[in-house]
Structure 1
Amino acid sequence: MLIPLLYIYLQLEIGKVYSQKIQNQQTVSGIISNQNELPVPGVNVLIKGTATGTITNLDGYYSIRASVGDTLVYSYVGYQTIEKEFTRGYMGDIIMQPAADALSEVIVNAGYYNTTGRERTGNISRVTAAEIENQPLVNPLQALQGRMAGVEISPASSHPGGAVRIRIRGINSLREEGNLPLYIIDGMPVNSTPIESNSLIGNRGIDPLNNLNISNIESIEILKDADATAIYGSRGANGVVLITTKSAKRSNGTGLEINMYAGVATMPNRLDLLNTQEYLQVRNAALENDGQGITERNAYDLLVWDQDRYTDWQDFLFGGSSETLNTNLNFSGGDDLTSYRIGGSFFDQGTIYPTDYEYQKITGNVNLNHHSKDNRFSIAAALNYGVDDNTLAGNIDLNASIFALPPNAPEAFNSDGSLNWEDWNLAGLDNPLEGYYNSNVTTSNNLISNINFTYELFKGLQLKANLGYTHYSSEELWKLPARSNNPQDSYISSSYHLSNGRESWIAEPQLIYDNKFSKLNLQFILGSTFQENTSDQTSFQGYGYASDNLIGNIAAAETILNARNVNSMYRYSAVFSRIGINWNRKYYLNLTGRRDGSSRFGSNNKFANFGAIGVAWIFSEEEFLKKLNFLSFGKLRSSYGSTGNDQIGDYGYLDAYEPTVGPGGLIPVGLANPDYSWEVNKKFEAGLELGFFQNCLETEISFYQNRSSNQLVGYPLPYITGFNSVQANLPATVENKGWEFVLHTRNIENSNLAWNTSLNFTIPKNKLVAYPDIEESSYANTYRIGEPLNISLLYEYTGVDAETGRYSIRDVNEDGRYDYQDQIIVFNANREFYGGINNSIEYKNFSLQFLFEFVKQKGTLNLFNAGPITNVLDDVLVNNRYQQFSQSVASQTAYRNMSESNFTITDASFVRLKTLSLNYSFPEEITKSLRFKELQLYIHAQNLFTLTPYEGLDPDRPNTGTSFTNLRSITGGLRINI
């Protein structure tokens, strides 16, 4: 009797305890992120001592029932395990730190989902805010130079605002505009086509990313292979650039971030040209060789101009200092449900030219995150707005022909500040600063907004919607007053007006499933895209203004000419899906597919299908390899798939007409072709990733081969047809293949000193694989089968003729004349290899980072013509590579032929100290006494020096010799967090 009663009593007591425990249980939820504040999916959350647990979803979110006093254990491969006691005030958010042997566990943005460096099956390169935010640049893409394998960045010009040329794994299309990558900013696609401009900002136009604030960028990811890009379908044919701005974080208070810097930029290089006495020596020798007498007609520089005068025209025209100022303010706050971040910036940059023009940019950003108490519903909104005002590119192109100016040429200005025309007219020349008083004001506004809604239908299944809107507008006014030009030309004051508008919206509903079944983890995405882009451009010219003060006022213009308005609409829709499977975190399979529809094709070809498969095997997890103590990580991965390309003009499949000058008429301007279809890019990749000695040394080797076929071009037509071209598919195939090497090393790591090194190295190959009957096409003299697209066809240089003393080239067919049939030398202007080496050193409160960029390439250099009234390189006096000094017609013809020959080819390789940053963080006792969270001083330098055999100004522009893009800058800054 006693035993049954005791049993009943114990059951009642246990029941009370259990009931009390159930009553004390609460829902714990939160977001788990890494040290870069990005969500970490797949984290195991376990109540210690029990079998109760869960894992985080793609957004790093988890939810679990626990009692006060329980210990929550957070664990994930490659991160330090964290144990937290659950108390009533516990928020649930966790920031996980990488384990000492886990540099590969970096969360990367793959577009529609997040993955890790360990688990990705595709090729994705990434840079973070710490690497780029303090660089005094206008365009964020310029900050990527030398930092990524497979990514080439070329600035457009020395003027800020010019469109940057980015090539991700080479040139895929015969069309320049067909090689543009896809830009995604906070989930919103942005038109990557440069904006047309009349100014001298850059020959490619204005970059659509100029209005972004570099200091507000959290990370930039580049998606390269089919596995990474196929989910974007036709939009990802040339790679994808994902830009993520800094977002609001959960907090229980407010904070203020202040970051400001100032500095100067200068021209880093000069050409070694003749001084006055050397120049006169060459000129006298030329006239003597020609047997000519010295007259004011053939030697005004010797008879009319001052023989003792010397002007360093390079120093005069771009020897100034460009001052730079940047200020950033960001205010953040919130609670456990809602957080926000509001900021703004001001950027100002002057010019190295003898003008007082400048570039200014003002940006604003708003970011908001909110989730419900049960964490089933969340909303994230981001808005970036920028306004810039560019007056730097309104006058003459100062780095075009100034190198040829004789050193004893007259003053450019009179004593009263006006242009000196009299002395130049005596020689029958125009002042080299003709156009000096021209002015150009280009003002642009750019709004990029995005909002994401997520709702958890049940555990593992989410309904998501991504909505975005962009609006870009620019107004350009170019004023050309008569006083900027030679009075003898009777120039009429004029103005050029250009306005551009772009507007787009996108809606992407998605269904996301993420769940784990024992050793199987399954991720599934099903979504659709609806996108519309509209563009509008208006341009005209005004002539005949009575006063310079009235230039630009259309009502004051005597005549309006060339008025034109063009508008277009582009619509795009798609259905896409992704299935991601991993077994025991060892074997990975990634399947992506997309069906695209584009309004740029006729009714029979509007839709196309694209997809890819990616696989990975983490072989270091196999039992037979775990005994290898030196091997920390090993992975094989591969992918294959296809992406499309619809980067052509709108309405090409329709006949196009424009109104005639007179009323009531139409003229055809576009020829219809309803049958052209999608350009297709098929991509293959294989990669090997290894980590040694607890990942103190990590390496990645990738081989890729991309083939782009069914090329979309404007096919040239004979003049008699009345049309310049017709849109068509050409039977051409372009191949890009190469090797990419990435290396990370932790050289030293202790409590006081840490030294890390990163290396990237790329060997690219580009060639035209096939083009049937190219000899009979309009491209017969442009491309060669088996050669790269970026080639020049040159004459074969045969030396200086011993009899005439002039340059000579080979007459291949011996017909007595030189034409395209004699251009048998194929010059490959592509890079042989390129890369960068980045070092990061931290010692106590100091940190030092420096990046070397290196490139192996050939370029061309114009040696100038020694003898006529032009300056030349100073080695003309000691180097026998030049022809006999002469200003005769025969000599100048020989010079022109030589300049189109392989004699101009030279080594344009270089190693450049691209960036150098030194930072000092004040000790905690000082920051606390000032009530700061952080106080940091830093010095940053760009392009400090370049080692190169190239004799031109800038090896980044290796095919002219007289243009440049990279200024040397030094800035100092202050960062405060309050």
Structure 2
Amino acid sequence: MSVFYKKSAGLALCTLFCATSLYAQQTLTGSVSDSNGPVSGASVTIKGTNRGTQTKANGTFSIQATAGETLRITIVGYKSQEIKLGSSNTVNIILTEDASSLDEVVVTALGVKKEKRALGYASTTISTEDLADKGSAMNAMTSMYGTVPGLKLNLTGMGPAGGINVNIRNAVSFSESSNVRPLFVIDGIPMLDWQTDINRSPGNGLNDLNMDDIASFEILRGAKAALLYGSNGANGVILITSKSGRKRPGYGIDVNLAHQFDKPWVLQELQNEFGSGYPVNWGAYGNNYTPEGFYKRNDQASYAPVTYNFGPRFNGQDLLYYDNTMKPYVAQPDNIRDLYRNGHTSTANVSIQGGGDLGGFRLAYTNKNYEGIFEGFKIKENKVTFNGNMSLTDNVNLRLVSTYSNSFNHNPPNQNQDAFVTYGLPRNLDVKALRNQIFDPETGYFFFYMNNIQAQYATGSVVRENLAKNYLYSQQKDKFDNSRNHFTNSLNLDIKLNKNLSFTGIGGFDWIINDNNTYEALRRPLSQGVGGSAGLKTEQNVSWNGQAMLRYEKDLNPDWNLSSFIGAVYLGNSYRMLSRSTNGGFITDNWESLGNSKNDLRFSDSRIANDGLYGIFGSAQLSYKNRLFFDIQGRNDWSSILPPKNNSYFYPGVSSSWVFSESIDAPEWLTMGKLRASWADAGRPGSRYFSNNVYSIGSYDGAISYSSPSTIPPKDLQPERKREFEIGFDTKFLNSRLGLEFSYFSGITYNQIMALSLASSSGYNAIAINAGKVSTKGYEFSLTATPVKTNSFSWDMIINGSASKPVVKELYDGINTQNLWGASGARIVAKENQPYGQILVKPFAVNDKGERLVGNDGLYYTDQTQDKLVGKVTPDFIGGLINNFSYKGLTLGLNFDASFGSTLISQTNMYMRGSGSSIETLAGRDEASGGLPYYVDNNGSYVGLPSHNTALPNDSKYPMIFHDGVILPGVKQDGTPNDRIINAGDKYAYYWQSFMEIQEDVVYKNDYIKLRNITLSYALPKSITSKMKFEKLIVSGFMNNVAFLHRTMPNVDPESNNGTNVFYENNAFPTTRSIGFSLRATF
């Protein structure tokens, strides 16, 4: 046979074989679903070949296959399935979730989804379904108290409508302006977030989060977990995923309604035995003072015009009050409660969802109305959210999440204002009557001014100036309005380039516009004097984010798999602010306008600030038999905040995990077990413009002036660094009835950016440098258990906790103590080889034996040459306990949280003593309460008497014996026991009059255990809901801030700190206790 014929025959046989193979390969179609409906994104492959595809949004797929081949379906979070194909060309697969939880899908950095088994670090997922029955909080984060190990939440003194402090693993800094909050990322876009204070704070972007629109929170706690977010994620990351559309075709509607009633809770416990007045002998000067401790007007009417509560014991006699009426001198036990009203919150959320072959969507609207417990305080919010996804082709998917919210915040209270000195409230002041006397009934002006009531001639008149005018009147007539418009947008494009390679692009922004409109109404007509003011402040914050990423995944052989990606990111931030106000009062009565300014408008402030960051990143993970994982990651950032020489910095990180329960012959009681370890070195550049000379522009004598900065910027500023090692394990026992996750971490923050104090002769206050190291070691655990489980009843429990201790290891050459913050004589310091954030105060002077020294005035005094350690600002341990008891469709939830080891300076308690308002000031006030008898001699000295019935000595300066004598325990400066009598008022008023200096005995341990929530919900059975055309119907009742099981801080809530200054509180507002109900329906 010729060569030609041989080649022709071979070609024919090959063609015939290929044709036969192609004929045998048929198009196989099918669907993948779970108990809830279609499953999109599942990987569908023919085992042993390179043929593969993914399920569409409706769960369907098609692939070339031959009878006898094996079809493999995998997707994280479900058990993998393999099916031997027969002659049928259709197949339908129902997936089941993996109970071991190691195949649970978690969202990791940059939105990459992984099985939990592959993670080498601690991560916690919180589904909002678990939080839904707690009511609709003004701040969504408040629902997470006690749910996550290492996550410390702390409402500021402004309460639920204000800001919230969020901290992971006791993150600390040497700079007060440095942000130690975690990064919040919603649908791939970093959120605008900032520290808040208590000066009428309307909160921040977190307040606009709505629990009904959120699917889950993912908390990445360690440095390795957050590494790929760069400098913004150095203190952890909280990933927020919005709810998406339906997985199955058709439409659905969700309706969530909630209403709660708020009442003041944790009010100060005040004495009700003595009323307004000075200590008895304070007023014993002149002819208008009475032996009872009152003053007398020319018409002989008695009155007590002071804030102090050192007057005589209540006796019912008539006194002249601020409104020129005579009223009995009696206690008003509820007057502090009468400063507040009952509040309420109502929330309505309606969403419509749709799904089809090409994708799905969810469109939601939320309306929220809040009336606070403070006079005139209210908030109205409206929010629209859209979440849509579309499969443009089999390999191209697009997702868009857009939100717009508008909140109007009217007259949030100002905790710093002198008007609200609740601790100085006269115990005999009738607040209800005062509330009804604020407005002049004819003109609406301030009642007291219009009726010419004189402050110096009436009981309670001093208080009425502050309380009546600056709180009750101001909260109703003045305006401090904040209108916040908040836009967020996230666009996500996924392209599957081939079987192994895919591209993901994310772009979006977070844009917040705050308009603050202030108006101070006239207290009296303009004809009686200048008055009134109006102002407008506009702020605009914008954060732009763009990210592109290439992912490559490949099975290298049957045992080894490679998963990797590289990418780049840009993050830009912009801030604009302009403030202007009237000048010199109003021209026309009651015209609320900047155009009503008597003089030219005052442009009080204007600011523009920008910063930008570029980054590149990469990650590679090798897995062996899906049991052993090795991961390496890196990122490099270029930040505009740092000087050009140092604006590039690199973050490396490695981790590993081993599912040992699948690698050994594990006993039956071990459901799963995993060991994990990670290491990372992250960094952050510090505050914006910290490395620049920033000059302030003002005016002087009509000319423009420039003010130089008070801190010398560093010449060679470098980024702060945080290096952390973590090791831990995840285990499940008894078919997942019992589980334990544990992590030990050891980190060090070094190269800290801090400001060192300079001598005033230098012309500056401080110089900024890189220095200092803080070591933080600790552990975290989460224990899950189902102690009881039957066909109709179950008890599920979660106990979590964390303990960590930041210790200052190093400061700067020649310096072993650095001041961090201060308040009223107290210092918070960083001291080498000591816990971070120690609180130091000037101690009471003592002798060598530790006995307190008493001065010539009979009072203790402080030793200004010494500092005394009285506590620290960080807690040693935080934790939570979550219990859920379910019987058929009924579920009872009890949530507890706790904190131990931190310390809080309480100026509220200090001033309560100083004003004679607290219960502890009762001792020694008169004969009945243990006071000693004495008289005042002609030299002004206090002289003790043997009994209260002793005759008045001839050398008495006043015609009376006093019965409120006290001798403080201690010794005089000569070492002899103290025998100097003082009046009880002096003993207690010292706390108010000691130049407002913090005393060591008003610093308290701030430990507590709180029953945070009780919820009771009932899911109606399907036999009922189906007849009502509902898919789901759940009714719930709840109570928040239920009770303290343990509390060391008296009179104030342990969370009543002053904004971000977690070491002290002043004039604490009460917490609110909420009782409410909710209805959730799906149809």
1:98-142 CA distance string (max 9 Å, x none): 33xx24543221122112333211221221111334533122222
1:910-943 CA distance string (max 9 Å, x none): 2211122211111212211121111121112211
Judged with a 3 Å threshold, the aligned counterparts in structure 2 of structure 1 residues 684 and 453 are, in CA distance, closer, same or farther, namely same
Residue 187 of structure 1 deviates from its aligned partner by: 0.4
Q: Distance in 1 between matches of 2:139 and 2:653?
A: 32
Structure 1 residue 332 and structure 2 residue 353: aligned? yes
Residue 182 of structure 1 deviates from its aligned partner by: 1.4
Q: 1:839 aligns with which of 871, 883, 886?
A: 883
Q: Distance in 2 between matches of 1:965 and 1:573?
A: 45
Q: 1:790 aligns with which of 827, 833, 837?
A: 837
Give 2:233's aligned residue: 236
User: Matched residue of 2:227: which SS?
Assistant: helix
Residue 152 of structure 1 deviates from its aligned partner by: 0.6
Judged with a 3 Å threshold, the aligned counterparts in structure 2 of structure 1 residues 56 and 779 are, in CA distance, closer, same or farther, namely same
Q: Distance in 2 between matches of 1:300 and 1:209?
A: 45
Give 2:107's aligned residue: 109
1:747-793 CA distance string (max 9 Å, x none): 23333222211111111212221112225866696332233333321
Contact 1:283 1:868 in 2 (8 A): no
Structure 1 residue 587 and structure 2 residue 608: aligned? no
User: Matched residue of 1:412: which SS?
Assistant: helix
Give 2:949's aligned residue: none
Give 2:1008's aligned residue: 910
Q: 2:682 aligns with which of 643, 654, 657?
A: 643
Contact 2:798 2:882 in 1 (8 A): yes
Give 2:401's aligned residue: 382
Q: Distance in 1 between matches of 2:114 and 2:80?
A: 19
Q: Distance in 2 between matches of 1:771 and 1:720?
A: 24
Residue 278 of structure 1 deviates from its aligned partner by: 3.8
Structure 1 residue 274 and structure 2 residue 274: aligned? no
Q: TM-score, normalised by structure 1?
A: 0.87
My pick for the range that moved more, 772-781 or 962-971, is 772-781
My pick for the range that moved more, 538-547 or 607-616, is 538-547
Q: Distance in 2 between matches of 1:882 and 1:843?
A: 63
Judged with a 3 Å threshold, the aligned counterparts in structure 2 of structure 1 residues 859 and 33 are, in CA distance, closer, same or farther, namely farther
Judged with a 3 Å threshold, the aligned counterparts in structure 2 of structure 1 residues 344 and 661 are, in CA distance, closer, same or farther, namely farther
My pick for the range that moved more, 583-592 or 951-960, is 951-960
Give 1:7's aligned residue: none
- Describe how 1:417-428 pairs up with structure 2 within 5 A: 417-418=439-440, 419=446, 421=448, 422=453, 424-426=455-457
User: Matched residue of 1:383: which SS?
Assistant: strand
1:765-823 CA distance string (max 9 Å, x none): 12221112225866696332233333321233467768989553563xxxxxxx2x322
- The residue type paired with residue 106 of structure 1 is E
- The residue type paired with residue 578 of structure 1 is S
Give 1:412's aligned residue: 434
Give 2:776's aligned residue: 736
Q: Distance in 2 between matches of 1:465 and 1:92?
A: 32
- Describe how 1:326-475 pairs up with structure 2 within 5 A: 326-353=347-374, 355-373=375-393, 375-393=394-412, 397=417, 400-409=420-429, 411-413=433-435, 415=437, 417-418=439-440, 419=446, 421=448, 422=453, 424-426=455-457, 429=462, 430-435=465-470, 436-437=473-474, 438-475=478-515
Judged with a 3 Å threshold, the aligned counterparts in structure 2 of structure 1 residues 262 and 37 are, in CA distance, closer, same or farther, namely farther
- The residue type paired with residue 185 of structure 2 is I
Q: Name structure 2 gaps, 5 residues minimum.
A: 1-13, 297-302, 312-318, 322-326, 441-445, 822-826, 931-965, 969-981, 1058-1063
- The residue type paired with residue 63 of structure 2 is R
Residue 53 of structure 1 deviates from its aligned partner by: 8.1
- The residue type paired with residue 345 of structure 1 is T
- Describe how 1:262-301 pairs up with structure 2 within 5 A: 262-275=259-272, 277-279=273-275, 283-284=279-280, 294=293, 296=295, 300=305
Structure 1 residue 511 and structure 2 residue 550: aligned? yes
- Describe how 1:508-907 pairs up with structure 2 within 5 A: 508-517=547-556, 518-543=558-583, 544-547=585-588, 549-623=590-664, 626-650=665-689, 652-654=691-693, 656=695, 658=697, 660-661=699-700, 665=704, 667-670=706-709, 672-726=713-767, 728-772=768-812, 773-774=814-815, 782-797=829-844, 808=860, 811=863, 819=864, 821-857=865-901, 858-861=903-906, 863-864=909-910, 870-873=916-919, 876-877=922-923, 885-888=983-986, 892=990, 896=994, 900-907=998-1005
Give 1:951's aligned residue: 1050
Structure 1 residue 974 and structure 2 residue 1079: aligned? yes
Q: Distance in 1 between matches of 2:1029 and 2:398?
A: 33
1:540-593 CA distance string (max 9 Å, x none): 232311345323434545343353211111111000011112111221111110
- The residue type paired with residue 187 of structure 2 is D
Q: 1:310 aligns with which of 319, 327, 331?
A: 331
Q: 2:1039 aligns with which of 934, 941, 955?
A: 941
Q: Distance in 1 between matches of 2:740 and 2:773?
A: 32
Give 2:143's aligned residue: 143
- The residue type paired with residue 310 of structure 1 is A
- The residue type paired with residue 422 of structure 2 is I
Q: TM-score, normalised by structure 2?
A: 0.79
Residue 171 of structure 1 deviates from its aligned partner by: 2.9
Q: Distance in 2 between matches of 1:304 and 1:853?
A: 49
1:676-715 CA distance string (max 9 Å, x none): 1111111111112222222221111111122112222355
- The residue type paired with residue 368 of structure 1 is G
Judged with a 3 Å threshold, the aligned counterparts in structure 2 of structure 1 residues 619 and 53 are, in CA distance, closer, same or farther, namely farther
Judged with a 3 Å threshold, the aligned counterparts in structure 2 of structure 1 residues 901 and 357 are, in CA distance, closer, same or farther, namely closer
- Describe how 1:48-59 pairs up with structure 2 within 5 A: none
Q: Distance in 2 between matches of 1:59 and 1:251?
A: 8
User: Matched residue of 1:193: which SS?
Assistant: coil
Residue 52 of structure 1 deviates from its aligned partner by: 9.2
Q: Distance in 1 between matches of 2:373 and 2:872?
A: 33
Q: Distance in 1 between matches of 2:385 and 2:544?
A: 19
My pick for the range that moved more, 239-248 or 427-436, is 427-436
Q: Distance in 2 between matches of 1:58 and 1:885?
A: 84
My pick for the range that moved more, 753-762 or 653-662, is 653-662
- The residue type paired with residue 771 of structure 1 is L
Judged with a 3 Å threshold, the aligned counterparts in structure 2 of structure 1 residues 289 and 558 are, in CA distance, closer, same or farther, namely closer
Residue 962 of structure 1 deviates from its aligned partner by: 4.7
User: Matched residue of 2:922: which SS?
Assistant: helix
Give 2:934's aligned residue: none
1:614-645 CA distance string (max 9 Å, x none): 1112222233xx24232222222111111111
- The residue type paired with residue 955 of structure 1 is P
Judged with a 3 Å threshold, the aligned counterparts in structure 2 of structure 1 residues 868 and 610 are, in CA distance, closer, same or farther, namely closer
Residue 408 of structure 1 deviates from its aligned partner by: 1.4
Contact 2:276 2:427 in 1 (8 A): no
Identity %: 18
Contact 2:363 2:387 in 1 (8 A): yes
User: Matched residue of 2:590: which SS?
Assistant: helix
Q: Distance in 1 between matches of 2:1027 and 2:831?
A: 70
My pick for the range that moved more, 670-679 or 938-947, is 670-679
How many aligned residue pairs are there?
942
- The residue type paired with residue 835 of structure 1 is G
1:380-411 CA distance string (max 9 Å, x none): 11111111000141667599411221111365
